[in-house]
Amino acid sequence: MQKLKAGAKELGLELTPARLEQFASYYKELIDWNRRVNLTAITDYEEVRLKHFLDSLTIILAWPQATQKDLRLIDVGTGAGLPGIPLKIAFPEIKLALLEATAKKAEFLRHIVQKLGLDDVEIVAGRAEEVAHQARYREKFDLVLSRAVAALPTLVELTLPFCAVGGSFIAQKKGTVDDEINRAAGAIGLLGGSLREVKKVALPAFPDERCLVVIDKLSPTPEKYPRRLGIPAKRPLG
């Protein structure tokens, strides 16, 4: 776990032995469950620590509210808990919701949250298209995150409805994003958002190009969004 510790330090994060222990336990459970439930394609110890855990923590490079007390955060399409769980381990005070469509993955999430003894984590098993229309979740989060779920034009329709006005959405992306951002410009506006910045992630551990697309929520999302199940992917807005 020394590499994770060193990488986190470059991000300005000091991971205590207790937190590194939680990461070790997370890795162990992930690999164990991965035999039955398809949770991760990467299973190598070193790769999981860097490509999954450290990569999740890079969110803080674009996270102005890092010190905000009682920050409400939702991770949309979290899969095995990425980036939500690494962030919760590093910042135990956040209030975290993990949204995942696949029931078996949600089952793993319940297990791992209990195993790691994490408080204030809600597992929501469902599809963003439906959950985002429930009053309990709609426009209720200061920060919305999503990693490796969909292309930006689709993704913003699945995420911005969760974001409170004044909050923001951060998408973790690999490779060049200019084209994706251009295609999403219309959708971002329709949904009440505004592109703030594209922050490059430059850490020695990641030789490939990675970035954080930060979108601020300026006005409420019209009631009709997100559209019915599957439509945001089939017919992206804009």
- Residues near ligand SAH (CB under 6 A) are 77-79, 82, 99-102, 105, 127-129, 147-149, 158
Question: What is the C-alpha separation between 238 and 154, in angstroms, rounded?
Answer: 10
State in angstroms the smallest separation of the CB of 69 from ligand SAH.
Answer: 26
Quick one: 15 or 87, whose CB is closer to ligand SAH? 87
**CB closer to ligand SAH, 78 vs 168:** 78
CB of 237 to ligand SAH, least distance (A): 15
Q: Which is nearer to ligand SAH, 58 or 78 (CB)?
A: 78
CB 214 within 8 A of CB 199: yes
Q: Which is nearer to ligand SAH, 112 or 158 (CB)?
A: 158
Of 126 and 238, which has the nearer Cβ to ligand SAH? 126
- Measured over the CA atoms of residue 133, residue 182, residue 174 and residue 143, the dihedral's sign is negative
- Min CB(17)–ligand SAH separation in Å: 26
Torsion angle (degrees, nearest 10) of CA 76, 102, 83, 68: 50
Please tell me what DSSP assigns to residue 124.
Answer: E
Provide the Cα torsion 99, 105, 107, 108; round to 10°: -110
> Least distance to ligand SAH from the beta carbon of 222, Å?
19
What stretches of the chain show up as alpha helix (H) in DSSP?
2-10, 17-34, 45-47, 55-57, 84-90, 103-115, 128-131, 152-159, 178-190, 231-234
**Among residues 15 and 149, whose Cβ is nearest to ligand SAH?**
149
The CB-of-148 to ligand SAH minimum distance in angstroms stands at 4
Cis peptide leading into residue 222 (ω within 30°): no
- As measured in angstroms, the least distance from the Cβ of 111 to ligand SAH is 16
